[in-house]
A and B are shown apart, each in its own frame.
Chain A
Amino acid sequence: MKTTHAALAEKFIADEPRTDWHDETLWFVREKRDKAAHGLPEWEQLREWGSQIKNHTLSNLYNYLKEFEEKAVANGIKVHWAADGDEHNKIIHEIIRKHNIQKIVKSKSMLTEECHLNEYLQEHGIEVVDTDLGERIVQFRKEPPSHIVLPAIHLKKEDVSATFHEHLGTEKGNNDPQYLTEAARQHLRDKFVQSQLAITGVNFAVAETGGFVVCTNEGNADMGAHTAPVHIACMGFEKIIPKAEHLSVFLRLLARSATGQPITTYSSHFHKPRPNQEMHIVLVDNGRSRQLGREDFRNSLKCIRCAACFNTCPVYRRSGGHSYHTAVAGPIGSILNPNLDMKANADLPFASTLCGSCTNVCPVKINIHEQLWKWRQVIAAEGYVATSKKIGMKGMDFLLSKPKVYRFAGKMGRWMIRIVPFVVNNKLNVWYKQREMPEPPKESFRDWYLKNGKTNKK
């Protein structure tokens, strides 16, 4: 059987000090976000605007995508459409083949993770160097990113030091962040200079201009795009926004929500290729049309990938990104991934207490926790929950919907726990593993009420 979130999370939590560290690190980011948001009196208004612009865009996607394509082509950008991840990978492979490209740098793009571009190209003997520091670290370790904004957040500086010692020949045991960053900087500088192709993601594509915006804190997308003769930008088609002026809403929301910064260090606007440069954009569907057609889930496509829902999620902070076994983890991943593969990701909507914090931090007001609840209904209806759970639920319904059965079972249950506590206090009872059972009273509230309720009235 496939490993589930619950099992992977249990493994993660087995190292409790590390779990605490992970939790506190991400909580620190959440608090930074709170401070940044508090700094703007119009914060809730901005969220509303962000949400409405995205709602409007999703309702008029066809027109805006067409407008974007026309403007981009007029600007001299080559536009490609990919129905799924495989087609996306093939388009990029074809461009690489045409130019006989050997050296490729890539800045962070969750879409290319979703499409498994690196693996695809590797199978074809082509190596891609990830240039985001965190991504380079996990790439060395042959791990996927554990967070969409902070890909190596599951690692401590000691881990990074060991990884760099192995791959970059840094001093063993030197955990100084400045030293380690400098080593990565020198290593990546070479890659940038030699690169023939730069692949970047897209944060926002603007329909009215045909241009796009890439946000990074390290400037690595710019370094790549400015040095390589070919630039390919990859985007899920929901990244489109109607007008350039809408960036004044989204750029203010994005970095504050993500890391508590007022704005990303680099918000680079690309409009057309420079002389002798080739610029491509690959627009990818990969299940997005299907999600758009699901009324209850369509607004998940409003997501701007800030990861605020990751940082606030009490489950994510204590289970780590890899426990979600998908490219996009966290609460937003748990409502996006069942659309991509319902069976493989059937466990994810259940990896939540439905506390609702994700919905509250979302800068574009996606009702994430309500969609988690709705996905649970869809997944159960499609038959992707364990039969034992289904039988259990049927039994519960039988017990709880019939007053007499309920009362009899309650009485018997309480009596059993009192007289023979080992019936529930044993290894088969998951609750009992780390928690005591409640002490069963002799009488239920109803029993008490029938005896005393009336006399208590004034």
Chain B
Amino acid sequence: MKVALFIPCYIDQFYPQVGIATLQLLEKLGCEVAFPLQQTCCGQPMANSGFASLSKGCDINFVENFSGFDYIVAPSGSCVLHVKEHLKDESHPEEAKKIRNSIYELTEFLTDVLKVETINTRFPHKVGLHNSCHGQRGLALSSMTERMLPEFSKPEQLLSMVKGIQLSKPKRNDECCGFGGTFCVFEEAVSVKMGKDRIKEHDANEIEYITGGDTSCLMHLEGILKRQGSKVKTIHIAEILNSSL
């Protein structure tokens, strides 16, 4: 199975270990992974700020890099959602459409396409799961407390395969962390308050790690945790699923 790996810009620059874990995990699960070398950003920062008109360059570059693959996988629900909903290329509309329909967030790719049922991995720690809104509500990676539908969770399904892990959920299981892209600086006070409140609920479960499928949420929470001098660490779900494989 030929899979193209999309590593969002901020992961590429600040969290290479998340990209490495994703790549290794996919390869160990039998995928032939390509990493298109001229990839940059999906364009979401501009589009969510009201300047979708300025994300054309990113769109064109994205289509150039990711055309012709069966699947595109990224360790970020938010960037995947943006590509799914907004990727456009007037000169290559068919390619853009194909990309929109074949891009997957990592955990849904593992559960829905690879249909992973066992993972030989151990992570003997107390871990709190943070559901990113774009992954959960946008991509329907798990059921949502607002909707009256059967319960499920793709990330939890995968984490339950990890040996030794003690998984806990915060009291408000699907409340936003407050990152919100440029919201985190333009609405700094609310953003930080939302993050602090998430951390408080995870702290109540006495966890060692907060994990999730979106490094952007984790980066925001990590920034607050470090400022608080907390011992709690953030870790991307790919790193847990790839540990001691």
Contacts and interface: CB of A to CB of B under 8 A. Distances in A.
Contact of A393 (B49, B180, B184, B188): B49
Nearest to A369: B137
A456 interface: yes
B226 A38 contact: no
A413 B183 contact: no
A356 B137 contact: yes
A439 B176 CA distance: 24
B189 A353 contact: no
Interface residues of A, number: 77
B152 interface: no
Contacts of A443: 16
Interface size class for chain B? 35 or more
Interface stretch (A121-129, A188-196, A427-435): A427-435
A109 to B, nearest CB: 28
Contact of B137 (A357, A393, A434): A357
Contacts of B20: 445, 448
A34 B146 contact: yes
Contacts of A414: 13-14
A173 B14 CA distance: 55
Nearest to A19: B193
Contact of B223 (A357, A437, A447): A437
Interface in B137-196: 137-138, 144-149, 172, 174-176, 178-181, 183-195
Interface in A27-47: 27, 34, 37-38, 40-41, 43-44
A434 B54 contact: no
Interface stretch (A197-205, A278-286, A402-410): A402-410
Contacts, number: 226
A397 B55 CA distance: 6
Given A397-B58, A441-B16, A449-B35, A5 B187 contact: yes
Contact of A352 (B144, B148, B180): B180
Given A9-B187, A433-B188, A400 B145 contact: no
A353 B133 contact: yes
A13 B35 contact: no
Nearest to B136: A356
A274 interface: no
A423 interface: no
Interface string A15-29: 010011001000100
Nearest to A372: B48
A30 B225 CA distance: 28
Interface string B43-54: 101111111111
Interface in A358-383: 359-361, 373, 376-377, 379-381
Contact of B46 (A6, A353, A396, A436): A396
A248 interface: no
Interface stretch (B4-12, B93-101, B112-120, B204-212): B4-12
B147 to A, nearest CB: 6
Q: Which of A43, A44, A361, A438 has the most CB of B within 10 A?
A: A438
Nearest to B43: A400
B48 A312 contact: no
B140 to A, nearest CB: 11
A202 to B, nearest CB: 28
B15 interface: yes
A444 B16 CA distance: 6
A101 interface: no
Interface string A29-73: 000001001101101100000000000000000000000000000
A351 interface: yes
26 contacts: A16-B193, A314-B176, A314-B178, A318-B197, A351-B190, A355-B133, A359-B137, A360-B144, A377-B52, A385-B49, A393-B45, A396-B54, A397-B51, A400-B58, A401-B57, A401-B60, A430-B185, A430-B188, A434-B192, A435-B223, A436-B222, A437-B223, A441-B15, A445-B20, A456-B24, A458-B27
Given A350-B186, A448-B16, 19 more contacts: A13-B193, A314-B194, A318-B197, A350-B187, A353-B194, A373-B48, A380-B50, A385-B50, A390-B51, A393-B54, A397-B54, A397-B55, A401-B61, A402-B40, A435-B227, A436-B226, A438-B15, A443-B16, A453-B23
